[in-house]
Protein backbone atom coordinates (compact mmCIF):
# COMPACT_ATOMS: atom_id res chain seq x y z
CA UNK A 1 0.00 0.00 0.00
CA UNK A 2 1.42 3.36 -1.01
CA UNK A 3 2.00 5.90 1.73
CA UNK A 4 1.19 9.58 1.73
CA UNK A 5 2.89 11.14 -1.28
CA UNK A 6 3.76 14.77 -1.75
CA UNK A 7 4.87 16.78 -4.75
CA UNK A 8 7.15 18.55 -5.36
CA UNK A 9 9.75 17.35 -2.91
CA UNK A 10 11.65 20.61 -3.28
CA UNK A 11 10.72 23.98 -4.70
CA UNK A 12 12.64 27.25 -4.93
CA UNK A 13 10.65 30.33 -5.89
CA UNK A 14 11.09 34.05 -5.75
CA UNK A 15 9.24 36.25 -3.32
CA UNK A 16 5.90 37.21 -4.78
CA UNK A 17 5.52 34.10 -6.90
CA UNK A 18 2.96 31.37 -6.45
CA UNK A 19 3.60 27.77 -5.47
CA UNK A 20 1.17 24.88 -5.31
CA UNK A 21 1.95 21.82 -3.24
CA UNK A 22 0.11 18.59 -3.79
CA UNK A 23 -0.67 15.74 -1.41
CA UNK A 24 -2.05 12.31 -2.23
CA UNK A 25 -3.24 10.62 0.96
CA UNK A 26 -3.22 6.90 1.59
CA UNK A 27 -6.02 5.33 -0.42
CA UNK A 28 -9.27 5.32 1.52
CA UNK A 29 -8.18 7.87 4.09
CA UNK A 30 -10.83 10.53 4.50
CA UNK A 31 -8.85 12.62 6.98
CA UNK A 32 -6.16 14.79 5.44
CA UNK A 33 -3.94 17.19 7.34
CA UNK A 34 -1.39 19.84 6.43
CA UNK A 35 1.47 20.79 8.75
CA UNK A 36 4.59 22.86 8.30
CA UNK A 37 7.91 23.33 9.97
CA UNK A 38 9.81 26.51 9.48
CA UNK A 39 13.51 26.73 10.34
CA UNK A 40 14.20 26.24 14.02
CA UNK A 41 10.56 25.92 14.97
CA UNK A 42 8.24 23.11 15.95
CA UNK A 43 5.99 21.30 13.52
CA UNK A 44 2.78 23.31 13.38
CA UNK A 45 -0.71 22.24 12.36
CA UNK A 46 -2.23 24.14 9.45
CA UNK A 47 -5.55 22.52 8.64
CA UNK A 48 -7.63 19.37 8.54
CA UNK A 49 -9.95 18.06 5.85
CA UNK A 50 -12.60 15.44 6.36
CA UNK A 51 -13.24 14.28 2.83
CA UNK A 52 -13.68 17.50 0.88
CA UNK A 53 -14.73 19.65 3.83
CA UNK A 54 -12.43 21.79 5.94
CA UNK A 55 -12.87 20.48 9.47
CA UNK A 56 -10.37 22.79 11.13
CA UNK A 57 -8.33 25.54 9.51
CA UNK A 58 -7.27 27.26 12.70
CA UNK A 59 -3.59 26.91 11.90
CA UNK A 60 -3.59 28.63 8.52
CA UNK A 61 -1.26 31.62 8.97
CA UNK A 62 -3.01 34.10 6.68
CA UNK A 63 -5.07 34.47 3.53
CA UNK A 64 -2.08 33.92 1.28
CA UNK A 65 -2.54 30.23 1.95
CA UNK A 66 -5.35 28.35 0.22
CA UNK A 67 -5.99 24.65 0.65
CA UNK A 68 -8.39 22.64 -1.43
CA UNK A 69 -9.48 19.04 -1.61
CA UNK A 70 -11.94 18.80 -4.45
CA UNK A 71 -13.57 15.40 -4.67
CA UNK A 72 -12.17 14.37 -1.32
CA UNK A 73 -9.09 12.68 -2.75
CA UNK A 74 -5.85 14.60 -3.23
CA UNK A 75 -5.29 18.05 -1.78
CA UNK A 76 -3.41 21.14 -2.85
CA UNK A 77 -1.93 23.91 -0.77
CA UNK A 78 -1.32 27.12 -2.65
CA UNK A 79 0.81 29.97 -1.38
CA UNK A 80 0.16 33.21 -3.24
CA UNK A 81 2.09 35.46 -3.12
CA UNK A 82 4.93 33.71 -1.35
CA UNK A 83 6.95 35.57 1.28
CA UNK A 84 10.38 34.81 2.68
CA UNK A 85 8.92 33.60 5.99
CA UNK A 86 6.96 30.90 4.17
CA UNK A 87 10.16 28.93 3.64
CA UNK A 88 10.12 25.58 5.37
CA UNK A 89 8.92 22.04 4.94
CA UNK A 90 5.25 21.32 4.46
CA UNK A 91 4.00 17.93 5.60
CA UNK A 92 0.80 16.24 4.61
CA UNK A 93 -0.76 13.44 6.65
CA UNK A 94 -3.79 11.22 6.45
CA UNK A 95 -5.86 8.78 8.47
CA UNK A 96 -9.00 6.70 8.33
CA UNK A 97 -12.33 7.75 9.72
CA UNK A 98 -13.60 4.75 11.59
CA UNK A 99 -15.91 5.05 14.56
CA UNK A 100 -14.62 3.44 17.71
CA UNK A 101 -11.14 2.80 16.32
CA UNK A 102 -7.95 4.69 17.09
CA UNK A 103 -7.12 6.41 13.84
CA UNK A 104 -3.37 6.57 13.45
CA UNK A 105 -2.16 9.49 11.39
CA UNK A 106 0.53 8.81 8.78
CA UNK A 107 2.79 11.47 7.33
CA UNK A 108 4.36 12.07 3.96
CA UNK A 109 8.00 12.97 3.41
CA UNK A 110 7.24 16.65 3.00
CA UNK A 111 7.62 19.37 0.41
CA UNK A 112 10.55 21.70 0.98
CA UNK A 113 9.82 25.28 0.02
CA UNK A 114 12.50 27.92 -0.26
CA UNK A 115 11.44 31.48 -1.02
CA UNK A 116 14.27 33.74 -2.14
CA UNK B 1 -0.74 23.29 22.92
CA UNK B 2 1.17 20.10 23.53
CA UNK B 3 0.10 18.34 26.71
CA UNK B 4 3.30 16.43 27.32
CA UNK B 5 6.71 17.12 28.82
CA UNK B 6 9.86 15.49 27.47
CA UNK B 7 13.58 16.00 28.06
CA UNK B 8 15.17 18.17 25.44
CA UNK B 9 17.86 15.68 24.52
CA UNK B 10 19.29 12.29 25.45
CA UNK B 11 22.26 10.17 24.51
CA UNK B 12 22.35 6.41 24.22
CA UNK B 13 25.14 4.02 23.26
CA UNK B 14 24.63 1.96 20.15
CA UNK B 15 23.31 -1.49 20.94
CA UNK B 16 21.89 -0.45 24.28
CA UNK B 17 18.25 0.13 25.11
CA UNK B 18 17.09 3.70 24.71
CA UNK B 19 14.49 4.72 27.27
CA UNK B 20 12.66 7.94 26.47
CA UNK B 21 10.42 9.34 29.21
CA UNK B 22 7.31 11.43 28.80
CA UNK B 23 5.11 13.13 31.37
CA UNK B 24 1.42 13.64 30.62
CA UNK B 25 -0.03 14.39 34.03
CA UNK B 26 -3.23 15.95 32.65
CA UNK B 27 -4.12 13.08 30.35
CA UNK B 28 -7.83 12.33 30.11
CA UNK B 29 -9.35 8.90 30.43
CA UNK B 30 -10.08 8.63 26.72
CA UNK B 31 -6.73 9.92 25.49
CA UNK B 32 -4.10 7.64 24.04
CA UNK B 33 -0.35 8.09 24.19
CA UNK B 34 1.22 8.17 20.73
CA UNK B 35 4.89 8.25 19.82
CA UNK B 36 6.31 9.56 16.57
CA UNK B 37 9.83 10.32 15.47
CA UNK B 38 11.38 12.54 12.86
CA UNK B 39 14.66 11.33 11.43
CA UNK B 40 16.65 14.29 10.14
CA UNK B 41 14.37 16.07 7.67
CA UNK B 42 12.05 13.20 6.85
CA UNK B 43 8.34 13.15 7.60
CA UNK B 44 7.24 12.21 11.12
CA UNK B 45 7.10 8.43 11.46
CA UNK B 46 4.52 6.66 13.60
CA UNK B 47 6.10 4.34 16.19
CA UNK B 48 3.53 3.06 18.63
CA UNK B 49 0.53 4.02 20.73
CA UNK B 50 -1.26 2.77 23.83
CA UNK B 51 -4.04 3.54 26.28
CA UNK B 52 -3.16 1.91 29.59
CA UNK B 53 -1.59 -1.44 28.86
CA UNK B 54 1.99 -1.86 27.83
CA UNK B 55 2.40 -2.26 24.10
CA UNK B 56 5.10 -3.75 21.90
CA UNK B 57 5.61 -3.85 18.18
CA UNK B 58 8.50 -4.44 15.83
CA UNK B 59 9.93 -1.00 16.46
CA UNK B 60 9.56 -0.36 20.16
CA UNK B 61 7.84 -0.97 23.47
CA UNK B 62 5.63 1.47 25.32
CA UNK B 63 5.34 1.34 29.07
CA UNK B 64 2.54 3.39 30.62
CA UNK B 65 2.38 3.88 34.38
CA UNK B 66 -0.67 2.66 36.22
CA UNK B 67 -1.89 6.20 36.90
CA UNK B 68 -1.25 7.01 33.20
CA UNK B 69 0.56 10.21 34.09
CA UNK B 70 3.77 9.18 32.44
CA UNK B 71 5.14 6.72 29.93
CA UNK B 72 8.42 5.44 28.55
CA UNK B 73 9.26 4.54 24.99
CA UNK B 74 11.86 1.80 24.78
CA UNK B 75 13.99 1.10 21.73
CA UNK B 76 15.46 -2.25 22.76
CA UNK B 77 18.67 -2.22 20.72
CA UNK B 78 19.37 1.28 19.50
CA UNK B 79 21.23 1.74 16.23
CA UNK B 80 22.72 4.84 14.65
CA UNK B 81 19.64 5.03 12.44
CA UNK B 82 17.50 5.65 15.52
CA UNK B 83 19.05 9.09 15.94
CA UNK B 84 16.02 11.37 15.63
CA UNK B 85 13.64 13.68 17.43
CA UNK B 86 11.02 11.67 19.32
CA UNK B 87 7.60 13.12 20.01
CA UNK B 88 5.24 11.96 22.73
CA UNK B 89 1.66 13.02 21.97
CA UNK B 90 -1.65 12.49 23.70
CA UNK B 91 -4.81 12.44 21.66
CA UNK B 92 -8.19 10.86 21.64
CA UNK B 93 -7.65 9.39 18.23
CA UNK B 94 -11.17 10.15 17.15
CA UNK B 95 -12.17 11.08 13.64
CA UNK B 96 -11.97 14.78 14.42
CA UNK B 97 -8.80 15.32 16.34
CA UNK B 98 -5.31 16.18 15.19
CA UNK B 99 -1.73 15.85 16.36
CA UNK B 100 -0.17 18.75 18.22
CA UNK B 101 3.61 18.49 18.24
CA UNK B 102 5.76 19.74 21.07
CA UNK B 103 9.52 20.10 21.03
CA UNK B 104 10.20 16.40 21.49
CA UNK B 105 13.40 14.70 22.66
CA UNK B 106 16.44 14.75 20.45
CA UNK B 107 17.97 11.29 20.81
CA UNK B 108 21.61 10.85 19.87
CA UNK B 109 22.83 7.30 19.40
CA UNK B 110 26.55 7.20 20.05
CA UNK B 111 28.81 4.69 18.27
Q: For residues A34 and A67, is the Cβ–Cβ distance under 8 A?
A: yes
Q: In this model, does residue A86 exceed pLDDT 80?
A: yes
Burial A93-116 (b: 16+ CB within 10 A, else e): bbbbeeeeebbebbbbbbbbbebe
Q: Does B96 touch chain A (CB under 8 A)?
A: yes
Q: Does B38 touch chain A (CB under 8 A)?
A: yes
From first CA to last CA, the distance across chain B in angstroms is: 35
Give me the pLDDT at residue B96, please.
66
* Cβ contact, residue pair A105, B103, below 8 Å: no
Q: For residues A8 and A111, is the Cβ–Cβ distance under 8 A?
A: yes
Q: For residues B92 and B100, is the Cβ–Cβ distance under 8 A?
A: no
From first CA to last CA, the distance across chain A in angstroms is: 37
Task: Give the DSSP letter string of A20-40.
Answer: EEEEEPPTT--EEEEEEE-TT
pLDDT tens column, A12-56: 999 999 999 999 999 989 999 999 999 889 999 999 999 999 999
Give me the pLDDT at residue A74, please.
96
Q: Whose CA is closest to B91, among A7, A39, A102, A55?
A: A102
Kindly state the DSSP code that residue B14 receives in the 8-state scheme: T
- Name the residue in chain A with its Cα closest to that of B49: A104
Q: In this model, does residue B95 exceed pLDDT 70?
A: no
pLDDT tens column, B42-81: 999 999 999 998 999 999 999 999 999 999 999 999 999 9
Q: In this model, does residue B2 exceed pLDDT 80?
A: no
Q: Using a CB-CB distance cutoff of 8 angstroms, which residues of chain A are in contact with residue B36? A: 107
Residues 53-72 of chain A whose Cβ lies under 8 A from any Cβ of chain B: 55-56
Minimal CA separation from B92 to chain A, in Å: 8
Coil, strand, or helix at residue A86? Answer: helix
Give B67: exposed, middle or buried? Use CB within 10 Å, 0-12, 13-18, 19+.
Answer: exposed
Q: Are strands B105-110 and B9-13 parallel, antiparallel or unpaired?
A: parallel
Give me the pLDDT at residue B41, please.
82
* Cβ contact, residue pair A104, B99, below 8 Å: no
- Name the residue in chain A with its Cα closest to that of B91: A102
Residue A43 vs residue B96, higher pLDDT: A43
Q: Does A88 touch chain B (CB under 8 A)?
A: no
Residue A91 has its nearest CB partner, among B43, B46, B95, at: B43
Residues 8-47 of chain A whose Cβ lies under 8 A from any Cβ of chain B: 31, 33, 35, 42-45
Share of chain B above pLDDT 70, in %: 95
The secondary element (H helix, E strand) that includes residue A94 is strand A88-95
Give me the pLDDT at residue B111, please.
93
Compute the mean pLDDT over every residue in chain B, rounded to the nearest whole number.
92
Measured CA to CA, the distance from residue A31 to residue A60 in angstroms comes to 17
Amino acid sequence: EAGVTQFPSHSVIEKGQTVTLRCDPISGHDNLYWYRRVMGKEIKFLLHFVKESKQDESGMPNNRFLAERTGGTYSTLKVQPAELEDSGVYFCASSHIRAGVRNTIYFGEGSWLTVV
Amino acid sequence: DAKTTQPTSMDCAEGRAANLPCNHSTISGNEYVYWYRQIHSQGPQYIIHGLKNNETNEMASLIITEDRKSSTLILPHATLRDTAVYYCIVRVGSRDDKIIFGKGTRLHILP
